[in-house]
Amino acid sequence: MMERPKVAFFDLSCCEGCQLQVANLGEELLDVLGLIDLVEFREVMSETWEGRYDVAIVEGSVVNEESEQRLREIRRRSDLLIAYGSCATIGGVNGMKNRKPLPEVQQEVYGERADWFPTDRTRPLHQLVKVDYFIHGCPIHPQEFIKVLKSALAGLPYQVPDYAVCVECKFNENVCLYDKGVTCLGPVTRAGCNAWCVNNGNVCYGCRGLVSNPNRAGAEEVLREHGLDAGLIANKMLMYNAAMEPCDE
Amino acid sequence: MSRNVSVNVEFLTRVEGHGHIVVDVANGVLQKAELQIVEAPRFFEALLQGRSIFEAQHITSRICGICACGHSLASIQAAESAIGFSPSAQTIALRKLLLHMENLDSHILHIYMLAAPDLLGVQSFMGLMPEHADAVRRALRMKKACNDVCDILVGRHVHPISCVVGGFTKLPDVRQLEAMHALLLQIREDLVPTVALLGALKFPEFERETEYVALVSDEPEYPLLSGDVGSSDGVRKVKEDYRAVTNEFLVPHSTAKHARLSRGSYAVGALARFNLNAARLHPAARQAAAEIGLSAPCHNPFLNTAAQLVECVHCSEEAIGIIEQFLEQGIDQGEAVIVGVNENRQIPVRAGHGVGAVEVPRGILFHDYEVDAEGIIQKANCVIPTGQNLQNIEDDMHKLVPEILDRDPAEITLALEMLVRAYDPCISCSTHFLQVEFVGR
């Protein structure tokens, strides 16, 4: 019988909520654990592993030299690398600090002692190393996590949906937020969350990143029709996507 | 005794976030006992500047995945207080329900997955499977039930969706109230063997009296979502004066700030709340405390885990009570809030300053915002429970190490890890404080 694949979880700079989404699978988690040999998961286990990882699942973004080195080391020791959660896939809320001069940000929090705690601009994983699978979202959607893990274990590709959240939102028969006089990033944001936030009465904040070919003209027309300022949308977009470089993806 | 001991735990496991324990004993004399916080700072307070007060809870819930609902609630309280908005009675009751679920969920995670392996002598939760399969399944079932309640109430537990400034963007209907009720009854049932399990476990014997800080109130209710800030040394201040309680200061070995009040350090969290407010607990929770032999005042930090279990009983009973009341009186669906960076100005905005103080799983959490007339945040400050506990943990280590110096190094290391874990530290939360006020050490 083939040996079970060695899987490890790692966290860089983040809230660790995506790990929690995995823990929150409940008893389904035991089915997942039955398929793999979980060798490292610092938040829930004390064991560590010196060998090679078949699959490394990495959460969080790179914000300093230390985390960059850690990520490169994980990549070096892993056959497959999965980036999970917005911080890892697009930089996430950590990226907002890239829009201000770094010394100003450090000064704000640590005052005169800012140099005690060095930081760098925020980067998602693929800006530093090769990423084999992306699981977007803040937090990740547990069922998408299962799908991607199955694909990775079976050696199959996983295609992140590349249509707008609006598609899923329409299937869920939500009233369009623009018709309520509210801006929403659904028209330009990558689907795959089943319009999670809109289903619960909130707006889409763009946590899964932009679709690869956003319908800019269409989005502008919607804003014009509702007499809304495009600046509102641009500002909202920076909540999650501020660390994305223009050439990314 | 002229012994040399050096403990160096890199990347402490089974805690949220990144920390090292460093202890140095030379010739039998303790030279150093530090909990080094090496989590990379994320600068949340700086990120909040320039964002709308209506986006604040969305951003600040990302401080922490475990207590995202608690951060949302503290953030919303600060925001509403800054713009002068008073929530309805229905909103307050639903927020209490959410906070109970947050404390319950996080405590169960800590008791079973992070602390129990220590008490049962295994390295991780998975190691419990062979001999304690029932407990593992029960823990996962309870966590799932907490999550399912949060799914219904606010869309999800990790970064809640519908809980916003002004109220809730979606309100549960009768069918959903019944579903939450059924889930909570199942949790109530699973808490019975949980109390029996913890009652049978042997916690390390260690005591150090310290100052305990928590919300206090003259109302009969166990204060979690409102009240003044009080301490076991007799301090009592309104929440707006929180800086006079936390007195933050920086140390080089921690990206999280330290805090102290009347003494060199103080403790927050379930044990602090229990010590200050045990008489206000639900009778079923007081019964559970008696069963596991916990009584106030308790000065053994390892028993924070036991106090968490007592709170689990309290929170589940109170949550059941809130839902039963809604089942009886109904929910006014007309109160649902339409969000959207307040583009439609549904909620009036004014310039102001507001503080939120909420008892989240690891202790009292403060959010503090200053907003301009457009509702844009000019200044933000968040003081997180784990930061407030750091100096107290180090002071515990200073007392504990000499007491256990005759044990072998592996045992000393484990005892220190267990001590830190008992506080259920949330390190990723604790590394983004703002507004440094330097206090000489």
Domain that includes residue B261, residue range: 44-410
CB B13 to CB A239 under 8 A?
no
Establish if B392 belongs to a structural domain. yes
Establish if B438 belongs to a structural domain. no
Please state the rounded mean pLDDT for residues A242-249: 72
Establish if B149 belongs to a structural domain. yes
Q: Indicate whether B421 pLDDT > 70.
A: yes
CB A15 to CB B125 under 8 A?
no
Structural domains of chain B, count: 1
B381 within 8 A of B435, measured Cβ to Cβ: yes
Of B14, B58, B250, Cβ closest to residue A44: B14
Distance separating alpha carbons of residues B163 and B276, to the nearest angstrom = 29
A29 within 8 A of A23, measured Cβ to Cβ: yes
A114 within 8 A of A127, measured Cβ to Cβ: no
Alpha carbon dihedral A190, A85, A19, B102, in 10-degree steps, equals: -70
Measured between CA atoms, the residue of chain B closest to residue A22 is B158
Q: Indicate whether B341 pLDDT > 70.
A: no
Q: Indicate whether B2 pLDDT > 90.
A: no
Measure A27 CA to nearest chain B CA, in Å. 6
Please state the rounded mean pLDDT for residues A71-95: 96
Q: Indicate whether B215 pLDDT > 80.
A: yes
Task: Kindly report the number of other CB atoms within 10 A of residue B201's CB atom.
Answer: 14
Instruction: Output the pLDDT for position B304.
Output: 97
pLDDT digits (tens, 9 = 90+) for B227-266: 999 999 999 999 999 999 999 888 888 777 889 999 999 9
Of B39, B43, B68, Cβ closest to residue A105: B43
Instruction: Output the pLDDT for position B226.
Output: 96
**For residue B8, what are its two tokens?**
């160096």
More confident residue, B9 or A215: A215
Establish if B61 belongs to a structural domain. yes
CB A21 to CB B158 under 8 A?
yes
Instruction: Output the pLDDT for position A181.
Output: 81
User: Burial letters for A13-30: b for 16+ Cβ neighbours within 10 Å, e otherwise?
Assistant: bbbbbbbbbbbbbbeebe
The rounded mean pLDDT for chain B is 89
Please state the rounded mean pLDDT for residues B172-178: 98
Listed residue (A119, A8, A113, A23) closest to A62, CA to CA: A119
Listed residue (B25, B149, B53, B133) closest to B403, CA to CA: B25
pLDDT digits (tens, 9 = 90+) for A175-189: 999 888 888 999 999
CATH number at residue B114: 1.10.645.10
Establish if B342 belongs to a structural domain. yes
Establish if B143 belongs to a structural domain. yes
Instruction: Output the pLDDT for position B431.
Output: 46
Helix (H) or strand (E) holding B364: strand B363-371
Distance separating alpha carbons of residues B23 and B35, to the nearest angstrom = 9
Please state the rounded mean pLDDT for residues A123-145: 96
Tokens 């909570």 correspond to what residue? B184
The rounded mean pLDDT for chain A is 88
Measure A33 CA to nearest chain B CA, in Å. 9
Establish if B185 belongs to a structural domain. yes
pLDDT digits (tens, 9 = 90+) for B7-18: 766 655 556 666
Helix (H, G, I), strand (E, B) or coil at B148: helix
pLDDT digits (tens, 9 = 90+) for B369-389: 999 999 999 999 999 998 899
Please state the rounded mean pLDDT for residues B417-427: 86
Establish if B434 belongs to a structural domain. no
pLDDT digits (tens, 9 = 90+) for B28-67: 888 888 887 766 778 888 899 999 999 999 999 999 998 9
- Confidence band (pLDDT; 50, 70, 90) for B425? confident
Strands A37-41 and A6-11: parallel
Q: Indicate whether A23 pLDDT > 90.
A: no
Q: Indicate whether A26 pLDDT > 70.
A: no
B300 within 8 A of B274, measured Cβ to Cβ: no
Instruction: Output the pLDDT for position B429.
Output: 57
pLDDT digits (tens, 9 = 90+) for B342-351: 556 778 899 9
